[in-house]
Amino acid sequence: MSSTSQKHKEFVAEPMGEKAVNALAGIGEVLGKRLEDKGFDKAYVVLGQFLVLKKDEELFRDWLKDTCGANIKQQGDCYGCLREWCDAFL
Amino acid sequence: MSSLGDKTAQHISALLDEYGIKHGPVVDSTRSLYEKKLKEAMAKEKKFQPSSDKTYYREEENVTYVYTTPVRNEGSSDRTTYMRPRPEWSEREYDHKTSYSRPNYGGWETVDEPQMYDSPSTYRSSYLQSTPLRGGQDAPKAEKSSRLVPLWVQLVVFLVLAVFLYFVFSNMETNEFLKEIGPQ
């Protein structure tokens, strides 16, 4: 990724704590709502899923697409955001 | 295959390994994803079987191409036939994927569709469209006389044209003609 969004930078700058799932890069209102409906109501739950998928890009992208209908860009943004957060804090 | 939903997590895991699908633990949140992946892998596996027929079809295509007519048949079975050692120079022209539109030997084989060499079906249809010189449908042995009619006819026409032009040119060497072109 050539450049990261402001949202991305903010998310990876600190531990996520109790941040909402909307705080993830690539996840806006619509996708956030869909994730919450499926039970992923906090960013850390999505993180949990990311970790259970062994931080694998393809699996995570597929999962995100199936769960909330994220497109390629959104998948990439979310994956990049979580991966960088893990690199920094995990 | 019985429904994947009935299988144990361990079984799903084993199946994923079988298909070479990279995966994590099969838990509630990941199960549906892995089931979907397994379904895709199974469907893909089934798809591979009919493709073996395709190769056979290609070989068949290859055979028909051998004694082919000048028109533009090289389209379909390009790869393998290009490797064939063709003594015919005109044939080789056609073998070139890119430049086969060049040869205008007799003027008939105006090769028009460069992107025909995709599927055998297009080859068939264009082959049917090509009226002149359909020579080719016999045995695949025709390495020498694959052209049959075209080649020597081309040469004859060429010679006739050359002779004709020579006559015209020789006749042009008159005063009258020179006078015409003189004061320009």
Over residues B11-38, the pLDDT tens digits come to 999 999 999 999 999 999 999 999 999 9
Judged by CB atoms closer than 8 Å, whether chains meet at B27 and A54 is answered as no
Give chain B's length. Answer: 184
Contact A11, A81 (CB under 8 A): yes
Mutate to test the interface with B, among A55, A59, A68 (most CBs of B within 10 A): A59
Does residue B42 or residue B175 have the better pLDDT? Answer: B42
Judged by CB atoms closer than 8 Å, whether chains meet at B33 and A56 is answered as no
Q: What is the pLDDT of residue B60?
A: 53
Q: What is the pLDDT of residue B169?
A: 92
Structure tokens at B145: 């006389």
Give chain A's length. Answer: 90
- Highest CATH level, class, for A6-89: mainly alpha
Q: Name which of A52, A56, A66 is nearest B22 (Cβ-Cβ).
A: A56
Taking CB atoms and an 8 Å cutoff, what residues of chain B touch A63?
A: 30, 33
Judged by CB atoms closer than 8 Å, whether chains meet at B33 and A52 is answered as no
Over residues A34-75, the pLDDT tens digits come to 999 999 999 999 999 999 999 999 999 999 999 999 999 999
Domain ranges of chain A: 6-89
Nearest-CA neighbor of A9 among A24, A28, A22? A24
- The interface predicted TM-score (ipTM) is 0.88
Quick one: pLDDT band at residue B183, thresholds 50, 70, 90?
A: low
Quick one: pLDDT band at residue B146, thresholds 50, 70, 90?
A: low
Taking CB atoms and an 8 Å cutoff, what residues of chain B touch A49?
A: 29-30
Backbone φ and ψ for A6, nearest 5 degrees, come out as -60, -40
- The mean pLDDT value of chain B amounts to 66
In A26-55, the residues whose Cβ lies within 8 Å of chain B are: 49, 52-54
Does residue B164 or residue B181 have the better pLDDT? Answer: B164
Judged by CB atoms closer than 8 Å, whether chains meet at B24 and A56 is answered as yes
Judged by CB atoms closer than 8 Å, whether chains meet at A49 and B29 is answered as yes
Rounded Cα distance between A82 and A87, Å, is: 9
